A and B are shown apart, each in its own frame.
Chain A
Amino acid sequence: MSNRWRAVALGVAGAAATAIPAFAVDLDVTCRCVIGGVNSGTAEWIENSVIPAFEAAHPDVDVRLNQFGGEDAQLTQQLALDFSTGAGPDVSAFDGFLIPSFVEGGLLKPLNAVAGEAVDSWTGWAALSEGSRALMAYQGDYYGIPLGTDVRMLYTRKDILSEAGIDAENWQPASWDDILAAARAIKQVKPDSFPIQLNAGVAMGEATTMQGYWLALLGTGEGVTDESGKFIVASQGILDTLNLYKTIYVDEQLGEQRAQLLADGRNRSFANFRDGVTALLFEGDYFYRSVTPEGSEFAVPDRDAVLGWAKIPAKAPGAGIRGQDFVTISGGTGFVINPATDAPAEAWAFLSFMNEPEQLAAFQAIQPRITARTDVEIPNNPFLTETSQALLPLTTARPNDPNYNAVSAEIQRMTEAVVSGELSPEDAMAQYGSAVIAIVGEENTVSLL
C-alpha cells in the first residue's frame, strides 16, 4: 500500500470510529455539587440514582454529570457566558431568582419552546403547586422544574447559650435587641468568640443578600422594592439594617469581620459554628440538611443535642414586613434546559425523569428536604417538618425582576463597605443609591427619607 492510500485508509477508519458513537446522544448535566464536597447529596443523587436509571430506560442516551465546585456566582458567570454563545451543559441546576435576568437577556427560553409539546403534556405539572411552579417561572412561562424551596431561620448552639446563662431550650428572641443581648452575654463568658453570623460582603455573593441583608431589612418592615416594584434607594430601614451590621461587626465585634471579607468566608462561617466560635447563625434550612449532617465537612458534633433554632424576630415586635413579629424569606432552585441544546427531546426526557416521584423519593432518602411536588412524601424529619410549618406562613420572596441580580450585587458591596469599616451606613447607602439608579434608571427608584 502506498503512503497515500494508507493515509486515506487511516482517515476513513478514523472517521468511522468517531461516527459510530454519534448514534448515541450525549447529555451534559451541571450542578454546583461535588460528591464529598458542596451539595454532596445532590451530586450523589444524580450520579448514583438518576443517571443509571435514566440510561437504563434510554439506552441510546449517554448522560454525564459535571460536578462544579466553585462559588454560586462563578457558576452563574459561566452559564451566562456559555448560554450567550450557544455552548454549555444541556441541563443545569439553576437558582430561580436568576430567571428574569436570563430570560430578558435572551439566554433562556420557555421549556415548551425548547422541547415542544412533550413539556405541556407532562403529568408532573399537576403535582407541583402554583407557588412552587412560580419559583422557576417568569411572566407566565415555565423555564425549569423546581426541585424545592427553603426557609431561613436563626440557628443556635444550645450548649453555648447555656454557658452564657440563657435558657437555650426555650430561647426565642422577640427583637434585634434580644439577639444582641444574648450575643453580648456570650461574648462576656467567651471573649474570643464571635457569637453572631449575619452574612455580609461581596465574597459570599447571593448568600449575603439572602442570609443576611434581607433577614434584617424585612424586620424593619421594608423590602428591596416597594409595593409598586420600585427599588428603594434610601430609607430608614436600610439605615437600621446597616447600623445592625455596624454594631455586630465594627462597634462590638460580636461577629467575625474577617469571615465577611475573605474569599472563603462562607465556609469560615460554617466552621465557626461547627467549632462553637459562633452561637447564633442566620441560614437557610439547607444548613441543616446539607451542611451539618454527620460525615460532612461542617458536621456539628452531637448535632441533635446541640443545634437549636429560633424564628428571626423583626427589629421590634410588629415592626416586620406586613406588620409581622417574625420574618423569613424563601428562594427556590431547580433545573433548566439550555436553549441551545443539540438534544432538546432527550434533555426534557432527562429533566422530567429526574422530577418524577420515584427519583425524588430517592433524593429524599439521601437528603430530606422541603419538596416542590405534592405527591412526594414529606420526609419523616421532625426538624424540617417543624421549621417549614412554622416559617412557610411567614415567608416572602425576592422581586421577580430582571434587575434584581445586579441590585443584589450592589447590596453585597454596600454591606461590605460597612462591615469592613470603610464607610458609614449613610455613605454606604448613598453609594448604593447611585449605583441602583445607574442600573434601573431613576424613574424606577424611590427614596423613603
Chain B
Amino acid sequence: MTTETTAAPRKRKPRNFALLSNWAGAAFLTPAGILVSVFVIVPFFWVIFVSFTNRTLLGRTALNPEFVGLGNYLTLFDPATFFQRGQFGFSLILTTQFVLASALLGQALLGLLLAWLIQTVPPWVKRITETFVIAAWILPEVVIGFAWFAFLDRDQGTLNMILEGVGLPPGDFLLQQPFWVIVAFNTWRGAAFSMMLFSSAFSSIPPSYFQAADVAGASSWQKFRDIGLPLIHGHIVTDLILITMWTFNTFTPFLLTNGGPSYRTELVSIYNYRVAFQDFQFGKGAAVGVIMMLINLAFALIYLSIGRKKKVR
C-alpha cells in the first residue's frame, strides 16, 4: 500500500524532444502567425476601434470620422428607443425568443425525439430518416431559402396547395406569421445536428440496460426517462450551448424575409447587416458587432468551463 501511494501522483516533467530547433520552429510558424494576425487579430481590434467612431461609408463622416467614445453604445442602449421596432433592443429580444423557440425547443426537442425513435426502427427507415434530416442541414443556404420561399408563397406555394387540398384555409405565412416561419425554418434546418449528437449518445448506452428494463416491463417512455435521458445528460448540455450560439448568429432567415415585414424578423445578425451594409453606418455596425462578440464569448466560456468540468470528473 505504501509503495503505491508514493508512486501514484508523480509530476510528469515535460520532455523536450523537439524535431526542430526553437528558431526553426518559430520560422515555420511565422507564415501562419502572419495570416492569423492579418485576418483575425487586426480586424478584431479594428472593429473595436471603429465602434468608437461615427464612421460611415457615404456622406461626410466617411472621410472625416470623429471619435465619439461610447456614443454608439449609448445610442444602442438608449432607453428611449431601445424597445422600438427596428432598434437594437427589439432585435435582441426577438433573437432571444428565436433562440428559445427554434433552438432550445425546436431543434433540441425534435433532434432528441428523432434520435430516440430511430434507435428502434428497422435500419433502412433509420437510414432514410437520417438522409432527409441531414440533407436539410448540408444543402446550400441559398437553395434552401429559395425552396422555402416557394413552399410558403401565398399564391403558388406548395403549402397552401396542400392546405386547400385537405380543405383548410390557405395562409399568408410570410406576411402574417413571419416569426413562426423563421422558427419553423430554423428548427427544420438545424435539427440534424442534435439528432446526430443524441443518436450517437444513445447508441453508446449498453443495450443490456434496456434489455433489463424490458424484462422488468418498462414502457418506452420509462426507458427514455429513466435510462436514456440521464445517461446522455452531458451531451444535452453541449448540444444546447452549441445550437444556442449558432442560432444566435444565424443569418439565413434573411433569405426568407429580409428581416421584415416591418422588422418582425430582424434578428441581431440581420440588424447588424442592415446598419453596417444597408445604412452604411460602419461605426454603429461595429458597435453591434462588438456586443455580439461579447455575447458569443460568454457562450464560449460557459461551454469551455462545462467541458473542463467533465474532464475533471
Please give the residue numbers on chain A whose beta carbons come within 8 Å of chain B beta carbons, in ascending order.
Answer: 73, 77, 80-81, 84, 101-102, 104-107, 201-203, 258, 261-263, 402-403, 405-406, 409, 413, 416-417, 420, 422-423, 431, 434, 438
Contact B59 A402 (CB under 8 A): yes
* Complexed CA–CA distance, A102 and B86 (Å): 25
Contact B262 A416 (CB under 8 A): yes
Q: Which residues of A contact B62 (CB under 8 A)?
A: 84, 104-107
Contact A261 B175 (CB under 8 A): yes
B280 — nearest CB in chain A belongs to which residue? A80
* Complexed CA–CA distance, A438 and B58 (Å): 15
Contact A203 B258 (CB under 8 A): yes
Which residues of B (283-307) have their CB < 8 Å from a CB of A? none
Contact A101 B261 (CB under 8 A): no
* Complexed CA–CA distance, A370 and B232 (Å): 73
Q: How many A-B residue pairs have CB under 8 A?
A: 75
Query: A203-B260, A261-B262, A434-B81 given as contacts; is B175 within 8 A of A107 (CB)?
Result: no
* Complexed CA–CA distance, A111 and B59 (Å): 19
* Complexed CA–CA distance, A361 and B278 (Å): 37
Contact B279 A262 (CB under 8 A): no
The reply on B60 being an interface residue by CB < 8 A is yes
Contact B63 A104 (CB under 8 A): yes
* Complexed CA–CA distance, A416 and B266 (Å): 14
Shortest A336–chain B CB gap in Å is 14
Q: Which residues of A contact B59 (CB under 8 A)?
A: 101, 104-105, 402-403, 405-406
B282 — nearest CB in chain A belongs to which residue? A84
Which residues of B (54-92) have their CB < 8 Å from a CB of A? 56-60, 62-63, 75, 80-81, 84-86
Which residues of B (120-178) have their CB < 8 Å from a CB of A? 154, 172, 174-175
Q: Which residues of A contact B277 (CB under 8 A)?
A: 77, 81
Q: Which residues of B contact A261 (CB under 8 A)?
A: 175, 260-262
A262 — nearest CB in chain B belongs to which residue? B175
Query: A81-B277, A438-B75 given as contacts; is B60 within 8 A of A402 (CB)?
Result: yes
Q: Which of A84, A202, A258, A423 meets B260, CB within 8 Å?
A: A202
Q: Which residues of B contact A434 (CB under 8 A)?
A: 80-81
Contact B58 A413 (CB under 8 A): no
Bits for B80-108, please: 1 = Cβ < 8 Å to A, else 0. Answer: 11001110000000000000000000000
Shortest A199–chain B CB gap in Å is 15
Q: Which residues of A contact B154 (CB under 8 A)?
A: 258
B174 — nearest CB in chain A belongs to which residue? A262
* Complexed CA–CA distance, A78 and B45 (Å): 26
Contact B262 A409 (CB under 8 A): no
Query: A81-B57, A413-B86 given as contacts; is B172 within 8 A of A258 (CB)?
Result: yes
* Complexed CA–CA distance, A413 and B262 (Å): 8
Q: Which residues of B contact A431 (CB under 8 A)?
A: 84-86
Q: Which of B58, B81, B86, B172 meets A107, CB within 8 Å?
A: B58
Contact A417 B262 (CB under 8 A): yes
* Complexed CA–CA distance, A106 and B58 (Å): 8
Q: Which residues of A contact B85 (CB under 8 A)?
A: 417, 422-423, 431
Query: A77-B278, A417-B85, A431-B84 given as contacts; is B258 within 8 A of A104 (CB)?
Result: no
* Complexed CA–CA distance, A52 and B174 (Å): 46
Q: Which residues of B contact A201 (CB under 8 A)?
A: 261
Contact A105 B58 (CB under 8 A): yes
Pick 15 A–B contacts, CB within 8 A, sort by A.
A80-B280, A101-B59, A104-B58, A104-B59, A104-B60, A105-B56, A105-B57, A105-B59, A107-B62, A203-B258, A262-B174, A405-B58, A409-B279, A417-B262, A422-B262
* Complexed CA–CA distance, A203 and B175 (Å): 13
* Complexed CA–CA distance, A206 and B85 (Å): 21
A105 — nearest CB in chain B belongs to which residue? B62
Q: Which residues of A contact B278 (CB under 8 A)?
A: 73, 77, 409
Q: Which of A73, A106, A420 meets B261, CB within 8 Å?
A: A420
Shortest B97–chain A CB gap in Å is 17
Q: Which residues of B contact A84 (CB under 8 A)?
A: 57, 62
* Complexed CA–CA distance, A406 and B274 (Å): 12
Q: Which residues of B contact A402 (CB under 8 A)?
A: 58-60
Q: Which residues of A contact B172 (CB under 8 A)?
A: 258
Given A105-B62, A106-B62, A417-B262, 19 other A-B residues pairs in contact with their CB atoms under 8 A: A73-B278, A77-B277, A80-B58, A102-B58, A104-B58, A104-B59, A105-B57, A105-B58, A105-B60, A107-B62, A202-B260, A261-B175, A262-B261, A405-B58, A406-B280, A416-B262, A420-B261, A434-B80, A438-B75
